[in-house]
Chain A
Amino acid sequence: MHLLGWVAVLFYAAAEALAIRSLVRPKGFGAAPALVVAGLVAQFADLQLVGRKLGSVPYRTLGGSMALFGWMLGLAYLVLVLRHRERAIGPFLIPLLLAFSLLGVLLPSRAPAAPGTRGSLFAFHVTFAILADAAFALSFVLSILYLIQNRQIRRGRTGVLFSRLPSLEVIGRMNRTSVTIGLVVLSLSVALGMAWAHRVWNGRVDAKLVWAFLTLSVYGLLLWMDRRGWEGPRVALLSIVGFVLVLFSYTFVNLFLSQEHVFR
C-alpha cells in the first residue's frame, strides 16, 4: 500500500487545480509549485520505502519506474518555474506528473531481483534513461504549447491562452534546451547500458537498444532540422513524434519486445 504515493498524487491534483485556476485569473497560482514540492517530498519518501524493500533504486518494477519518472518530471517542472518564472506550463505538465505518479501507485512494484542489476553502473544507466525521458516529456509538453500559441497568433486570438503562454521564441528555446538535455543524457545512458551489457550479457543486443537508437535519431534529426529552416511548428510536431516513441518504448517495447528490460 503506497500511502505516501497517494498523498503525493493528491498534492499533484491540488496543484493542477490551482494551475488551471491561474489560467482563468492571473492571481492565486502561488501555491501550485509549493504543492508540487509537497508532492515530491511525499513521493520521494514513498520511493525510499519501496527502494528499501527492494534493496535498490525502485526502477526494476513497472510501477517503480513510472513513479520515478513522475518524480523526475516534477523536478524538471520546478527547475522550469524557478529558472524561467514560467507559470503557463504548469496546467499542461502537472497532468503528466499526476498520471505517471498515479500509475506508479497502481501498477505492481514487487519484482524478483534480476541477476546483475546492482551496482552503480547499472543504477546510473537507468537513472539517466529516466531523466532523459522526463526531458523528452517536457519537450512534448512545450511542443504542444508551441502549436497552441502558434495557432492563437495566426488567428489573432488574443485571449487568455495567448496572454498566459510565453512567446514562440521562448517556448522554442526551452524546447531546444529540453531536447538537448534529453539527447545528452540518453546517449550517456545508452553508453553505460552497453558497457554493462557487454559485461553481463556478453554482447547480446536487446530490442530496447534498437529503440533507444531510433529515439536518439529522431531527436537528433529534430535539432538538425531546427537549424536548417524547419524551426517552428514542424520541429514541434517532430518532438511530439519523438515522445510517442518514448512512450512506446516505455510500455510496448518493455512488455512485449525486450528480453532484458522487462518490468513485471
Chain B
Amino acid sequence: MTEAGELLVLGWDFRGASGKLREGVAFTAEDVREGLRRLLGHGFVSETVIVSTCHRSEIYGVAGGQDAGDELARFVSEWRGLEPGLLEGAGFRRFGPDAARHLFRVASGLDSMALGESEVLGQVRQALSIAREAGSSRTVLHRLFESAVRTGKRVRTETEIGVHPLSVASIGVELANKVFGDLSERTLLLLGAGETGSLFARHALEAGARRLKVASRTLEHAAALAERVSGETVPWESVARELPTADVVIGTTASPQPVVLRDDVEAAMRQRRGRPMFFLDLAMPPDIDPDVRSIYNVFAYDLDGLEEVAEENRRRRVREVPRVEEILEEELQRFLIWFGNLSVVPTVTALRQRLEEIRDGELGRVPAAERERLRPLFDSIVARLLHEPMRRLKSETDAARKLERVEAIRHLFDLDRDE
C-alpha cells in the first residue's frame, strides 16, 4: 500500500460467476449511480468506480487497507440481497498493482470472452464518466481509468488484436466490404427472417448497409423484420426476380432445399452485365446452390467456410497477445510510478528541491561577494513559502482531497518532469 491508499477491485465475471449470479450483480446505469452514492456514504473507500457489462461487474476503489475488500463484499451482499458465501466463491479480489493491471487487461480486451473485442473500452469509459458525474472518482481512479482507456486505444491502434472479426456474420460483412467497398450503396437481399437473419441484419446495418430487402416464406415475418431494419419486404415467390438487383444475398432459412439455384444466378449475372454478386449462406442445410461460386465474378461462402475463417482469426488474435501485454506493462509502469509519487513526503521533498534549484539559480546571478550575505535571506524565503502549504497538506483529513492537492502541487510545479 502507498501513502496515497490501496487500490482494490472486487468483481464477478463470466469465468467464475454463473449467469444467475451475474444477473444478481448486473447493474444498470441507475443502479451504478445509487451504488456509488451508497459506497461513498459508507466511507470505507475514498473513491470508487463501478464497471458493469454483460460479462462482468466490477467495483474499483481506493481505501485505507485491504480490509476494505471484506466491507465491499458485505456491502454488495446486503445491497443486492445475495448470500455472502455465494458471492465470495464466485468473485475475485485484486489489490494494488494487480488491481490496476486487471483494469488495463479489461480495457485492452484481454479479459473479454471474445479476445480483443473493443466494446468494453467504451464501457470502461462510460463507467468513469458516470463516476465523475457522481463525484466518486477523484485523483487516483480518474488517472487509473484514463490510463486504462489510453492503453485500450493504443492496443487497438498498435496491434491487430481487434482487427480480425470472430463471428460468422461479421466475417461475412467484412468479406462483402472488401468486394464492394461501401455497403451503403448496395442492395442486400436477406432470405429468412428468423434469429440468424435479424442478427445478420444488425451487423449489416452497423457496417453501413442502408438498402435491405427481406424475403421469408411467411410474409408477416419478413414484414416485421423489414420494419425493424427500415428495409423492404419481398414476396417469397419473387426472390429469383429480385436477384439481378441484389448485390449481396444472405441465406438464413430452414429450407431443406436450396432456395437460390445456379441457373437463377447465371441469369441474374447476365442482367447485371457481370457486376459482382456476393452470396453468404448462413443456413444449414444450404440455401444457396454451392455451384454458384464457379460463375464469373460470383463470390459465395457457406457456414463451414466462414467458421474456418473465424478459427483462423481467433488464432491471429492470440498471436497478438504478447505485444498487447508489452504495451500494457509499459502503461501500467507509468501509472504505478505516478501513483507511488502521489504521497505527501516525496512531494514535499521534490517541491523543496525545486525551490532550492530556483534559489541557487538566482543566487548564481549575484556577484560572489554579495552571495553569502544574501543566502540566509533566500533560505528564509524558501522556508516561509513552503511552511504554510505543507502544514495544510499534512493536516488534511479527507484522503481524496489530500491526494487532489498533492497532485495539484506536482502538476503546478512540474515535479514529475524528471520521470
Q: Which of A26-49 contact B (CB under 8 A)?
A: 26-27
Q: Is the CB of B180 within 8 A of A169?
A: yes
In the complex the two chains form, is B178's CB within 8 Å of A27's CB? no
Question: Do most interface residues of chain B lie in helix, strand or loop, or is the interface mixed?
Answer: helix
List residues of chain A with CB within 8 A of the CB of B273: 227-229, 231
Nearest to A163 among chain B residues (CB) is B163
Q: A141 CA to B185 CA in the complex, in Å?
A: 27
The interface size of chain A toward B, counting residues with CB under 8 Å, comes to 26
- Restricting to A141-169, which residues have a CB under 8 Å from any CB of B? 149, 152-154, 156, 158-159, 162-163, 165-169
The residue that B275 contacts in the complex, of A152, A154, A158, A231, with Cβ under 8 A, is A231
B177 CB contacts on chain A under 8 angstroms: 167
Shortest CB-to-CB span from B286 to chain A, Å, is 16
B171 contacts A153, C-beta separation under 8 Å? no
Chain A's nearest CB lies how many Å from the CB of B108?
A: 17
Report whether A167 and B305 are in contact in the complex, using a CB–CB cutoff of 8 Å.
no
Instruction: Tell me the nearest residue of chain B to A160, going by C-beta.
Output: B160
8 Å CB interface, B155-172 against A: 157-158, 160, 163-165, 171
Q: Quick check: is A170 within 8 A (CB to CB) of the other chain?
A: yes
- For chain A residues 200-257, which have a beta carbon within 8 Å of chain B? 227-234
| Cα distance A153–B175 in the bound complex, in angstroms | 6
Give the chain A neighbours of B270 by CB distance below 8 A: 229
Note all chain B residues with C-beta closer than 8 A to A233: 297
The number of residue pairs between A and B whose CB atoms lie closer than 8 Å in the complex comes to 70
Question: Which of the candidate stretches B20-28, B71-79, B308-316 sits at the interface with the other chain?
Answer: B308-316
Partner of B178 from the list A167, A230, A231 (CB cut-off 8 Å) is: A167
Q: Which residues of B contact A169 (CB under 8 A)?
A: 179-182
CB distance from B308 to the nearest CB of A (A): 7
Q: Which residues of A contact B160 (CB under 8 A)?
A: 26, 163
Give 9 nearest A-B pairs by CB, closest first.
A229-B274, A169-B181, A167-B181, A229-B273, A156-B309, A232-B297, A167-B178, A170-B181, A169-B180
Return 26 A-B CB contacts under 8 Å, by A number: A26-B158, A27-B158, A149-B178, A152-B178, A153-B175, A156-B175, A156-B301, A156-B308, A156-B309, A158-B164, A158-B171, A158-B313, A159-B316, A165-B178, A166-B181, A168-B178, A168-B181, A169-B180, A169-B182, A228-B274, A229-B270, A229-B274, A231-B275, A232-B296, A233-B297, A234-B296
List chain B positions with a Cβ less than 8 A from chain A. Answer: 157-158, 160, 163-165, 171, 174-175, 177-182, 269-270, 272-276, 296-297, 299, 301, 305-306, 308-309, 312-313, 316
